[in-house]
Amino acid sequence: MKDNIFIEYPKCSTCKKAKKWLEENKVDFKERNIVTETPTEQELEGWIKESKQEIKKWFNTSGLKYKELNLKEKLTKMTDKEKIELLASDGMLIKRPILISDKSVFVGFKEENWKMLLFQN
């Protein structure tokens, strides 16, 4: 069983809520700051595939950087490879928190999803 990795931006309120939930539910995890240890293209490729989510779901659409770069328009014209390169270039573009467990990869925090996936047999 591999360690759970919790990727967060420490100032993010959703990340704080998710971290508190993990601690309350006695889920062991290693923390990783999305800005100081931005995921690599290879990591993102694997995690996106494992999460079974579209790449666009991995973008932090409410972030300033996303809006500044006008990504809502640009993403439609980009290849998957270009999208992954862009995500790997700046941790603030990536939706968070991310939890990587041996069962799945979760992007964003929805308590009911995390509960269902982490505690299923």
Burial class of residue 99, CB neighbours in 10 A (0-12, 13-18, 19+): buried
Whether pLDDT at 121 is above 70:
no
Q: Residue 1: its pLDDT value, please?
A: 54
Half-sphere exposure of residue 116, counting CA atoms within 13 Å on the CB side?
Answer: 6
CA 45 to chain centre: 12
Q: What is the fold, at CATH topology level, of the domain defined by 5-29+41-119?
A: Glutaredoxin (3.40.30)
85-90 mean pLDDT: 98
- pLDDT tens digits, 28-72: 999 999 999 999 999 999 999 999 999 999 999 999 999 999 999
Global pTM?
0.92
Of residues 91 and 2, the one with the higher pLDDT is 91
- Whether the CB-CB separation of 16 and 41 falls below 8 Å is answered with no
